[in-house]
Structure 1
C-alpha cells in the first residue's frame, strides 16, 4: 500500500509539471508509474469479501439440512436393519391368543400388533405334525394326542394371558411375521410355553426348559408314551395290563434301544406270577418272562427293548434293533397257561 501511495504522488506531481516536460520524458515517467503500480497490485493481499448474514428465528423454507431421524434411518440401513421392528421393555396388554404361539397385544399408544413367540415352535389349535416333535409317537395316535394337547394349550394360554399386562422385550423379523420375547410378571412367556410342554425349543435359551418338560412328560411330550384309558384287558383275573408304551425315543431309535420300552402293571389286588406270561408285538417277536418274577399289587415292570442286566423293576428284551413301531402297533400280553390275552393297540 505504501508503494502505491508513492506512485500516485509521483503521478500527481508529474501532472502538475507536464507543461515543462517534453513528450519523450512524459512517456518514460508514465511507463515507470504503470510498472511500479502493477507490481504493487500483485503483492497486495486480496481484500476480504463481505458476506451478508441473515439470522432468523424460524427455519428457512425448503432447507436441505438432514433431520436427526433421517440420520438414524441411514445408520440402521447401513447395518441391515431396514426389515426389523425394534422395541425394548415396552408395556402392552394382551388382547388375543391364537395357536402356534401367536399373540396379539395393544401398545400404550393403542396400536394392535400380532407376533409369534421367538425361539419356540408351538402347537397349533388343532395340534400338529408329530414329525415336528422328535420322540412323539407318529401316526394317528400321535396326531390325536397332539390335537388334544393343542386345545388344552390354547385354553390355558387364553385364560392366563388375555387382559394381562406384558413387557415387550424385543421384536425382530419381517413385517409379515415378526417374532418377540414377551414377559409377564418378570417371567418370559416364551419359556413358560416350553416349560409347560406346549412348544419345543428352537433356541438354546430354552433347551433346559424342554429337557425338563420331556422328563416330566408334560404337554407335547405326554404324546411320546401310549397309555390306555381305561385299562385294556380281557379278563378280570389276573389284572395284568399294559400300562404304557414308549415306542419312539428321541433321535435315532436304533441308538436308543434302552429308551424304547413297554410297561406292564398289576392293577389287581393279588400278586401275579409271570413265569408263564410272554409279551409279543404285532409281528413274530416275543419276550418271555423266564425268571419267575412276581408282580405285587400296584407294581410295574419296565421291559426295555435293548440289552442290559435285569434288576428290580426293569428287564431287557435283548433285541439288537428296534421292536416297536412308531406309528402303528398291537401289543399282546399273553398268559401261556390259560391263553388269556391283554391287548394294547395304537
Structure 2
C-alpha cells in the first residue's frame, strides 16, 4: 500500500470514530440511527444514548425483580441494569438469610425474605415501569458486572431509587462492592434496621412474620430519630457498672433535631426527660447512660442507682414534648 493511501485510510478511520475500538451498533448488529453527542467518559452503553449532566435518560420496559430492570435507549436498543449498592431479597432463586443480619436461617426466615422480595419487585414496578429515568454511574465500579449487566444508580425525578429501597426497608446494602456511597448506604440500612422498617421488622426476628405483618416503624413524616444501639447487659454485675448500660440515639435527618422535653421510658415506666437544649446534629449520635456522670459531648447520664434496661428483653419508648410516641423499640435478651 502506498504511503498516501495509508495516510488516507488512517484519516478515514479517525473520522469514522473507529480508532481504538469496534463500531458501536444498536445491539442487533445495525449501526445506530440517532447521532446525538456521546459523553466525554466511557459509559459502556450505545453511543447514541444522549448524555445528560447527571447521566443518561432511558425508558424502563420491564422489571426483573426489585434490583434489576430492563431499559430502552433513545435509539431503540435495550439493556439490563443492575442497581448499584443494594440487594433486595431473591424472587427467582433461594434466599440466604445469612446475607440479611438478624434473619434466622430457617424456612420461616427464607419464606419471609421471599415475600419481601416480591414486595420489592412490586414496588419497583409501581415506581419505574414505563417511566423515563436517569442512569448514573460510579467511578469506583466498572460499567458492567460479572453477568454483563449495566451497573447504575437509577434516578426518578431527581431522587435515587437505589437509596429509597434502603430507607423503605426493602433491601440491604450490597457489601461486595467498593462503590463511593458505601458509608451513606450503610447508615440508611442501619436506620431501617434500627427502626424495624420493612423486611427488618418482619424477618429479622426469632418469629418471622409475613409481609403484611409489618413492625411499626417511625411514623411517616415524623422526626428522623432512630436507635442505633441498646446495650442493656453491662459488663460484670450490672448494678456495679451502670455506666456500661446505655441507649444510643441517632439523627438521620438533614437538620439539627431538638429533643428538649422529650422522654425515654421502659416497660416499667422508668422515665428520663431530655434537658432543655438537648439536640443531635445531622448524622450525629447521643448516648444516654443509666448511671451518673457529667453531661456533654453527646453523652447524657440518667442518674439512676440501679439498672433500668432488662437484660432479658424490654421496650425503649421515646415520646416528644407533646407526649406522642416517636419510637417504640422492643429488644430481646
TM-score (structure 2 length as normaliser)? 0.47
Compare CA radii of gyration and give the structure with the larger one.
1
Higher percent of residues as helix: 1
